[in-house]
């Protein structure tokens, strides 16, 4: 169990370091372009996530909502999903997900795909520059 706790802590630190690195890149004006947008000239479901995360880190929920409406709501659900997944791994040592967790991820993916289509409609009010 100690081994699993160390592995979870190490993975969580790695994810956090990646987030901090991307946050720093954002502030020194180095942007990672969206390959989907570069090829199709359409907004993908995750376009605006960097700006959304920066706005959330400043406590500006209104701006975060402008940049990516659906992920502002899905982000807490994804964090809770990650926490429960890691806690189960610590307790049981299993990484296999349950049918319920699989269904939750399918619903999240379907929501993101639908959002990706809707945000590219001409009348969508929150068009990103």
List pLDDT tens digits, range 17-56.
Answer: 988 888 888 778 887 788 888 888 888 888 888 888 888 8
pLDDT at position 92 is 87
The pTM for the full model equals: 0.73
Cα–Cα distance for residue pair 21/33, rounded to 1 Å? 16
Q: What is the pLDDT of residue 128?
A: 66
Q: How far apart are the first and last CA of the chain?
A: 48
Tens-digit pLDDT profile for residues 55-89: 888 888 888 888 888 888 888 888 888 888 888 88
pLDDT tens-place string over residues 95-116: 888 898 889 889 999 999 998 8
Q: In this structure, what token pair is assigned to residue 124? A: 């969508």
Based on the number of CB atoms within 10 Å of its own CB, is 2 exposed (0-12), middle (13-18) or buried (19 or more)?
exposed
Domain boundaries, the chain: 2-118
């Amino acid at each position: 169990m100690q081994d699993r706790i160390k592995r979870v802590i190490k993975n969580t630190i790695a994810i956090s370091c990646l987030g901090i690195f991307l946050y720093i890149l954002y502030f020194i004006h180095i942007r990672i372009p969206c390959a989907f947008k570069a090829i199709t000239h359409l907004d993908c479901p995750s376009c605006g996530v960097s700006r959304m995360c920066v706005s959330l880190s400043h406590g500006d929920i209104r701006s975060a909502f402008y940049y990516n409406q659906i992920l502002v709501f899905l982000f807490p659900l994804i964090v809770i999903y990650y926490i429960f997944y890691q806690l189960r791994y610590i307790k049981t040592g299993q990484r296999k997900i349950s049918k319920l967790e699989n269904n939750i991820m399918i619903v999240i993916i379907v929501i993101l795909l639908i959002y990706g289509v809707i945000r590219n409609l001409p009348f969508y009010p929150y068009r990103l520059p």
